[in-house]
Structure 1
Amino acid sequence: MKKILLLLALGVMFAGSVSAQEYYYGPRRVVVRHRRPERDNHDDFNRVRVGVTGGLNLANTVSGYDNNVSTGTIAGFNAGLFLDVPLIYPLSFEPEVLYSQKGYSANTPDGHFTSREDFIDVPLLAKFKLAPGFNFLIGPQLSFLTNTTNTYSSGFTVTEQDHQNNNNGNNTFLDGVIGVSFDLNQNVELRARYTIDFNQGDGYGDSYVPDYRNQVFQIGLGIKFD
C-alpha cells in the first residue's frame, strides 16, 4: 500500500512540473523544415553561357546551275567557341566561331577527284527554346575560305595541289543554317545542323571543279561553362 501511495505521489509531482513549464514557457514549438525545391537542370535560360563545341562534318556540294549534278560526300570535323545570350523567352542569340572542313569528291574520266576546303565559319543564330531540353536554331553564317587541297587519283598516280585561297572564285560565302539541339544535362548539349551556301563558288575554271554550293550535315556536342 505504501508503494502505491509513493508512486501516485511521484506521478502527481511530475505532472505538476510539466504543467508549470507550459505555464511559464508556453507550449513547445515544433519547427517544420521545408525542403528546398530541386533546381531544374534545363531552367538556365536567363544565364549568359560560354561554351566549346566540336563534331563531325559530312560535306558535299550541289551544282549552282544543274540540280542533277551531284558529288560524293567526304568526312571532316568542326570545332570552335560559342556564346548563348538570352534575349526574351524563348528567344536567345547564339554567335559562334568555328573551324570547319568542307569539300566533296567526284569520279571523272581521268580518275577520282577530291577537294578538301578549310573554312572559318561565323554562324549568327536565333535560338528558340521550344520545350525543356529542346531548341531550334536558324540564321545566317559567314564562311571564310582559308585553304583548298585538291587531290587527283588515277590508278597508281596521285597528284595533290594545295591552294591558300580560291583565286578564281569566291573566298567569302554567305550560308544558311538550320538545326536543333538537345540538352543532355545542364552543361552538355547534342547538336545537329544543316548548312548550305547561298552564293556560288567558281571553282578553278576547269572540268574537274564545276560551279557549286557547299552543303554540310553536322553532328556534335557543345559544352557550356558558367
Structure 2
Amino acid sequence: MKKIILAAIAVLTFGWANAQEVKFGVKGSVSLSNFTGDDNGFDWKSKVGFNAGGFAEIKFSEKFAIQPEILYSLQGAKTKYEDGYASDIYTYDEKYNLSYINVPVMFKYYAAEKFNIEVGPQIGFLVSAKCKYEYLNESETEDVKDIFKSVDFGLNFGAGYDISKNISAGVRYNLGLSNIAKTEEGNDFKLHNSGFSLSVAYKF
C-alpha cells in the first residue's frame, strides 16, 4: 500500500506540472460506515456519519484528471453486546465513533462530458476514537483510541456527475485494506473500515 501511495504522489506531481486546468473546491458527504473482517462475536451494523473538506481537481486532458483531497471523516460502526448469566442477560448498544483525517488521491476518467468514474488510494490518520454504551436510559462514553491503530490505508471507487460548471455530486465506496485493530502478539484478529458516501461539491 505504501508503494501505491508513493506512486500516487509521483503521478500527482507529474499531473500538476502538466496540468491544463486546475480547480479548487470544497465538498461534504453523508456516509454509511461499517467494520468488516473478523466479527469476534460482534454483529457489526452500519452507522451514519459524514465527511467534509477540500480538494483540487488537476485536469491534464479532456478525459483524465487527478483529484487529491483532505477530508475530516466521522466513521465507525455499531453493535449490540450481551453480558450476564442465565436469566440475568443484559443487552448493551455500542456505537464506535472514529474520527479520521483522510487523504485520498483519486484518478478520474471522464467517460462523458459531465460523467466520470474514479479510483484511488487513501491514507487516514486517526484523530479520536470513542465508544458510546447505552443500556435502558443510561449511557456512557469511553475513549478507546488505544485499541485502534493510528494509520489506515484503503482504496476508493466511485463515480461523479457535474450538475453545473461549479456544482457536482458523487458516490464513493471505501474498501479498507489495513487492519485497524491493535492486537497482541499471536492474536490474528482483523478489523477493516468500509463505507459508502454520497457527496456534493462546489468548484471555485
Is 2:175 aligned against 1:202?
no
Distance 1:109 1:161, change over 3 A: same
What TM-score do the two structures reach when normalised by structure 1?
Answer: 0.71
Partner of 1:88: 61
Answer with 98-107 or 65-74: which moved more: 65-74
Structure 1 CA distance for aligned equivalents of residues 170 and 159 of structure 2: 6
Mapped pair 1:183 → 2:156:
no
Asked if structure 1 preserves the Cα contact closer than 8 Å seen for 2:42 and 2:79, the reply is: no
Aligned to 1:127: 108
Q: Residues 168 and 105 of structure 1: is their aligned pair in 2 closer, same or farther, counting only changes over 3 Å?
A: closer
TM-aligned CA deviation for residue 167 of structure 1 = 2.3
Q: Give the secondary-structure state (helix, strand or coil) at the position aligned to 2:44.
A: coil
**Alpha-carbon distance between aligned partners in 1 of 2:183 and 2:165, rounded to the nearest angstrom:** 46
Q: Is the 8 A contact 1:123 1:140 kept in 2?
A: yes
Aligned partner of 1:60: which letter? N
What's the counterpart of residue 145 of structure 1? 126
Which amino acid in 2 is paired with 1:212?
L
Gaps of 5+ in 1: 1-44
Summarize the Cα distance change of 1:68–1:115 in structure 2 as closer, same or farther, 3 Å threshold: closer
- CA distance in structure 1 between the partners assigned to 2:121 and 2:199 by the alignment: 19
Moved more, 172-181 or 81-90: 81-90
Q: Return the alpha-carbon distance in structure 2 between the equivalents of residues 68 and 117 of structure 1.
A: 20
- Work out the CA distance in 2 between the residues paired with 1:99 and 1:193: 15
Q: Does 1:47 align with 2:26?
A: no
Q: 1:69, CA displacement in angstroms?
A: 6.5
CA displacement at 1:91 relative to structure 2: 1.3
**2:26–2:202 CA contact under 8 A, matched in 1:** yes
Q: How far, CA to CA, are the matches of 1:69 and 1:89 in structure 2?
A: 47
Sequence identity percentage: 25
Give the number of the structure whose residues are more often strand, by fraction: 2
Q: Root-mean-square deviation (CA), in Å?
A: 2.2
Number of aligned residues: 174
Q: Could you state the TM-score of these two structures normalised by the residue count of structure 2? A: 0.78
Contact 2:21 2:60 in 1 (8 A): no
Show structure 1 runs of 4+ deviating over 4 A: 66-70
SS at match of 1:201: coil
Deviations 1:137-181 (A, max 9, x none): 101000111001101112233221135xx3233110111000000
Contact 1:61 1:70 in 2 (8 A): no
SS in 1 for 2:98: strand
CA positional deviation for 1:182 = 0.4
* Among 49, 55, 62, the residue aligned to 1:76: 49
Q: Distance in 2 between matches of 1:132 and 1:154?
A: 52
Contact 1:141 1:176 (C-alpha < 8 Å) held by counterparts: yes
Q: How far 1:66 sits from its partner (Å)?
A: 5.8
